[in-house]
């Protein structure tokens, strides 16, 4: 035996590939032929075998893998620890036959190795990794072997499992594939070894090699499918790992991690997982923490989630979460959380509709940077549909008041960069007919934000939005016929201060915006003759001064405003006032702009 082993140690490293293959066959035959004595010599063959396991010829790699299986089976099981890192590496082999060989050998050890109970936690991850192999035949072979392992262990531990076998529990209500639920033995094996397997899997999720991260992500999903509610005791470790892994650049890693998060939602009580998931989200809002939240929600059942719906929606609506970043991916993930909540909880979302609309308005507010406006609109329509209302306009009608009140609380501190200003702007431009019912909150906020002392860029933005709204005033601010109550405020407190002359280009731009706003107001056909007369008396002096502006656009709009004033006043115009207007218009006949002269 000694001489044979010595010879094999040399021939296993022969430069000629065929010799190495033959040597592998000889080593396996020797192991089978001398089972009583071979264990004393088997360890000396492991070194040469492992030197050949990465040989460039795939047939050599297959032969070495199979020979190693037999050598350890009939030899010393101590060598398993030396072999496993090499076997794990072969699971990444490009040649399916090599991966198939590793799967068969590991499955054989789990069934027949004398000391297999000591190595379960090391061998199980290798066999379970093959369940996710790209080649269906390998995945099927691994599944068959794994079921045999589970059933054999079940028989060997029948006394221990008596209660569980006699009173078998049905699959959890929200099990993703109850018809393919692993047998009790397989589930127990994973659960009992999970604490030993998880640390290495979680570590590999952040490995620098992409292939390792993919395998670890696939394996984690398989482990959780077996562990079911037993994963609860390891939940913090798992969620921390998923939180990191969901930020991976590799989409395969991310998709497998979302699968794992969905399994957490399916098997663990929301009361338990939400405490941890929301705590992580509060500490560090990020696209990955939002993706984990969306995924656990997707995996959860509607009934289980219903009592926690308000808590989740309130958390998402917190400024540091929904306004966390203008990055597109962050916006997509916030939106995904809302979409998932709506899709899982359907009409139950009525109770937290205000918070969800607030989140959607915030994502829409940042849509200039993220380009998500169409997706937000789709989500808004879906939310309206599950609540049984006609569309997003009905949602705005219901929630515009509370949202404006909430925003107005901080309007004294707004600048052009404030998230609240962006949200206010969204309500102003998207709420449509709902604006007619919230004038008591809307107009005072506009008056305060459009005063000359406020941020000029903010005033420009608001004037631009207000002009668009006033152009269709009948369908927006005057939808309930109440705008005339606020006409004085709009003309005297908003437009007059902004039409007065101040030095500088920004001040000139604001005067242009204010003139545009006035033109939108008087051409919207919501003012009666009497109201038009009042507006004319209030604003004509300031409009006449704008005829001298450097901006051609301002001069042109001012001419149009005066023209409209004169047409609507007709014979009512006081001759003295007309005498004041006439010289100013006469000067414009010498204007450099052809359009102004016309």
Do the beta carbons of residue 553 and residue 530 sit within 8 Å?
A: no
Instruction: Kindly report each contact of residues 274-280 with a partner whose C-beta sits within 8 Å and lies 24 or more positions away, as own/partner.
Output: 274/308, 274/311, 274/312, 276/235, 276/236, 276/239, 277/239, 278/311, 278/312, 278/315, 280/239, 280/240, 280/243
Give the pLDDT confidence score for residue 339 in this predicted structure.
Answer: 95
pLDDT digits (tens, 9 = 90+) for 251-284: 999 999 999 999 999 999 999 999 999 999 999 8
What's the average model confidence in pLDDT over 58-82?
90
Q: What is the pLDDT of residue 371?
A: 78
Domain membership flag for residue 403: no
Overall average pLDDT of the 387-399 stretch: 88
Band of pLDDT at residue 208, cut at 50, 70 and 90: very high
Q: Which among 66, 238, 204 has a CA at the least distance from the CA of 125? A: 204
Tokens 């047998």 belong to which residue? 183
What average pLDDT score do residues 294-318 get? 94
Domain of 119, in residue numbers: 1-163
Is residue 278 a part of any domain in this protein? no
Query: Quick check: is 269 in a domain?
Result: no
User: Is residue 424 over pLDDT 60?
Assistant: yes
Last residue of a domain, one of 163, 194, 228: 163
Whether residue 259 contacts residue 221, with contact meaning beta carbons closer than 8 Å, is answered with yes
Angle of helix 96-112 relative to helix 58-74, nearest 10 degrees, comes to: 10
pLDDT of residue 595 exceeding 80:
no
Q: Is the pLDDT of residue 570 over 60?
A: no
Phi-psi region at 530: left, alpha or beta (left = phi > 0; alpha = psi -120 to 50): alpha
Q: Please tell me the number of Cα atoms within 13 Å of 387 on its side-chain side.
A: 24
Q: What is the mean pLDDT of residues 223-234?
A: 94
**pLDDT tens track for 464-492:** 999 999 988 899 998 998 888 998 898 88
Mean pLDDT, the chain, as a whole number? 88
For the segment 350-379, the average pLDDT, to the nearest whole number, is 89
DSSP string, 489-521: IIIIIIIHHHHS--SSHHHHHHHHHHHHHHHHH
Rounded to an integer, the average pLDDT of 357-366 is: 93
> Could you tell me the pTM of the whole model?
0.88
Is the pLDDT at 316 greater than 70, yes or no?
yes
Least confident of 43-47, 148-152, 215-219, 445-449: 43-47
Residue 330 lies in a domain: no
Q: What is the mean pLDDT of residues 288-295?
A: 97
Residue 326 located in a structural domain: no
pLDDT at 579: 53
CATH number at residue 585: 1.25.10.10
Is 316 within a domain?
no
Mean pLDDT, rounded, for 582-592: 54
pLDDT for res 40: 66
Q: Which pLDDT belongs to residue 578?
A: 52
Q: Note whether residue 461 is domain-resident.
A: yes
CA distance 226 to 105: 22
CA gap 487, 509 in Å, rounded: 23
Task: For 281-311, give one letter per residue: b (16+ CB within 10 A) or e.
Answer: beeebbbbbbbbbbbbbbbbeeebbbebbee
Kindly tell me if the per-residue pLDDT of 374 is higher than 80.
yes
Report the pLDDT averaged over residues 171-199. Answer: 90
User: Among the three residues 99, 128, 163, which one is the final residue of a domain in this structure?
Assistant: 163
The pLDDT tens digits of the residues spanning 277-286 come to 999 999 989 9
Distance (Å, whole) CA 305 – CA 302: 5
Report the pLDDT value the prediction gives residue 311, as an integer from 0 to 100: 95
Residue 51 lies in a domain: yes
Domains in the chain, number: 2
Q: 41-50, 287-296, 305-314, 396-405: lowest mean pLDDT where?
A: 41-50
Residue where a domain stops, chosen among 163, 192, 224: 163
**Distance from the Cα of residue 45 to its chain's centroid:** 52
Full 3-state SS string of 326-389? CCHHHHHHHHHHHHHHHHHHHHHHHHHHHHHHHHHHHHHHCHHHHCCHHHHHHHHHHHHHHCCC
Choose among 74, 80, 87: nearest CA to 30: 74
Specify the 3-state DSSP secondary structure of 577.
helix
Share of the chain above pLDDT 90, in %: 56
Q: Which pLDDT score is estimated for 392?
A: 87
Helix (H, G, I), strand (E, B) or coil at 541: helix
Q: Quick one: pLDDT band at residue 598, thresholds 50, 70, 90?
A: very low
């Amino acid at each position: 035996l000694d001489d044979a082993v010595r010879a094999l140690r040399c021939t296993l490293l022969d430069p000629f590939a065929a010799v190495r293959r033959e040597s592998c066959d000889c080593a396996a035959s020797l192991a089978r032929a001398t089972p009583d004595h071979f264990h004393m010599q088997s360890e000396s063959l492991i070194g040469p075998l492992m030197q050949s396991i990465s040989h460039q010829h795939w047939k050599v790699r297959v032969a070495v893998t199979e020979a190693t299986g037999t050598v350890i089976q009939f030899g010393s099981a101590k060598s398993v620890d030396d072999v496993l890192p090499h076997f794990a590496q072969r699971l990444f082999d490009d040649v399916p036959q090599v991966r198939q060989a590793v799967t068969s050998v590991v499955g054989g050890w789990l069934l027949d190795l004398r000391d297999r109970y000591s190595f379960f936690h090391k061998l199980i991850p290798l066999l379970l990794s093959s369940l996710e192999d790209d080649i269906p035949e390998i995945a099927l072979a691994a599944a068959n072997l794994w079921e045999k392992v589970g059933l054999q262990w079940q028989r060997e531990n029948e006394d221990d499992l008596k209660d569980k076998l006699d009173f078998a529990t049905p699959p959890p209500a929200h099990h993703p594939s109850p018809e393919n639920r692993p047998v009790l033995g397989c589930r127990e094996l994973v659960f009992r070894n999970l604490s030993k397997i998880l640390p290495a899997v979680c570590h590999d999720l952040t490995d620098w090699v992409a292939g390792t991260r993919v395998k670890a992500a696939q394996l984690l999903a398989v482990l959780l499918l077996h562990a079911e509610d037993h994963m609860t005791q390891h939940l913090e470790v798992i969620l921390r790992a998923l939180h990191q892994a969901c930020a991976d650049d590799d989409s395969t890693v991310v998709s497998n991690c979302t699968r794992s998060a969905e399994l957490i939602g399916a098997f663990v009580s929301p009361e338990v997982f939400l405490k941890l998931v929301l705590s992580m989200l509060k500490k560090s809002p990020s696209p990955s923490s939002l993706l984990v939240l969306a995924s656990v929600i997707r995996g959860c059942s509607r009934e289980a989630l219903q009592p926690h719906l308000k808590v989740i929606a309130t958390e998402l609506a917190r400024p540091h979460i929904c306004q966390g970043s203008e990055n597109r991916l962050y916006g997509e993930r916030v939106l995904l959380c809302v979409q998932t909540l709506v899709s899982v909880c359907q009409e139950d979302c009525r109770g937290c509709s205000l918070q969800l609309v607030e989140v959607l308005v915030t994502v829409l507010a940042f849509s200039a940077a993220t380009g998500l406006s169409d997706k937000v609109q789709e989500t808004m329509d879906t939310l309206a549909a599950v609540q049984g209302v006609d569309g997003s306009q009905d949602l705005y009608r219901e929630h515009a008041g509370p949202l404006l009140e909430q925003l107005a609380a901080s309007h004294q501190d707004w600048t052009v960069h404030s998230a609240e200003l962006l949200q206010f702007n969204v309500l102003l431009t998207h709420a449509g007919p709902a604006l007619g019912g919230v004038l008591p909150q809307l107009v005072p906020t506009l008056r305060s934000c459009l005063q000359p002392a406020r941020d000029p860029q903010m005033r420009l933005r608001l004037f631009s939005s207000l002009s668009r709204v006033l152009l269709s005033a009948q369908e927006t601010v005057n939808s309930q016929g109440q705008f005339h109550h606020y006409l004085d405020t709009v003309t005297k407190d908003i437009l007059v201060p902004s039409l007065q002359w101040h030095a500088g280009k920004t001040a000139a731009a604001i005067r242009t915006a204010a003139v545009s706003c006035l033109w939108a107001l008087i051409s919207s056909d919501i003012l009666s003759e009497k109201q038009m007369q009042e507006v004319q008396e209030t604003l004509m002096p300031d409009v006449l001064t704008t005829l001298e502006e450097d901006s051609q656009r301002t001069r042109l709009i001012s001419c149009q405003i005066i023209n409209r004033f004169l047409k609507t006043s007709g014979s009512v115009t006081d001759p003295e006032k007309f005498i004041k207007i006439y010289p100013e218009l006469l000067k414009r006949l010498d204007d450099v702009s052809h359009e102004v002269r016309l």
